Amino acid sequence: MQPIHILNGPNLNLLGTREPAIYGRESLTDIKAMCAAAADALGVSIVFEQTNHEGELVDQIQRAGKDGSAIVLNAAAYTHTSVAIHDALKAVAVPCVEVHLSQPAAREAFRDVNFVAPAAAGSISGFGAFSYVLGLEAAARLAKAGANANE
């Protein structure tokens, strides 16, 4: 099975120091290590990337559509603003699981707008760094089901 791409949007490189009361104390490096351990347990491989640039995130989604079996996406603020990311997700043939550290629905009203969710197979939010592990588990199940469906 091709790797699962775990893609991270803007400001997530600041995790661990950025508003820890909301986002937790784990750094993105800590989350990557958690995902690598979970991937090993699931018998899958991962590609883990972060960018602060919308166009680069679109490029990463497109690469994941060609080179991957699923996407775990924390689009961060782009969740609420990016039609381009929505369109990229709709254009690829691999499932996407949306993840968020916090619970956007319990936060500012502008976070009620979500361009990712309509293009994703499902969403996991509010569990801190563990949201990524849950998202990876879901993505692995979807990828394995898709791989089996094509056999």
Domains of the chain and any CATH numbers: 4-149 (3.40.50.9100)
The average pLDDT across 109-118 equals 79
Output the pLDDT for position 151: 40
Exposure string (b/e) for 52-63, b if CB count within 10 Å is 16 or more? bebeebbebbee
pLDDT tens, residue by residue, 47-80: 999 999 999 999 999 999 999 999 999 999 999 8
Comparison of pLDDT for 149 and 129, the residue scoring more: 129
Comparison of pLDDT for 54 and 147, the residue scoring more: 54
The reported pTM is 0.92
Q: Check if 5 is active-site.
A: no
Token pair, residue 26, equals 């784990």
Placement of tokens 């997530």 in the chain:
12
pLDDT tens, residue by residue, 1-39: 999 999 999 999 999 988 777 777 899 999 999 999 999
The catalytically annotated residue of 5, 78, 100, 132 is: 100
The catalytically annotated residue of 23, 78, 86, 132 is: 23
Question: For the sheet containing 46-50, what is the strand order?
Answer: 46-50, 4-8, 70-74, 96-100, 122-125
Output the pLDDT for position 104: 73
End-to-end distance of the chain based on CA atoms, in angstroms?
12
The DSSP bridge pattern shows strands 70-74 and 4-8 to be: parallel
Q: Check if 53 is active-site.
A: no
Predicted confidence band at 110 (pLDDT cuts at 50, 70, 90)? low
Q: Answer left, alpha or beta for residue 130, where phi above 0 means left and psi between -120 and 50 means alpha.
A: alpha
Of 2, 3, 33, 4, the residue nearest 16 (C-alpha): 33
Kindly state the percentage of the chain with pLDDT values over 70. Answer: 92
Output the pLDDT for position 24: 74
- What's the whole-number average pLDDT of the chain? 92
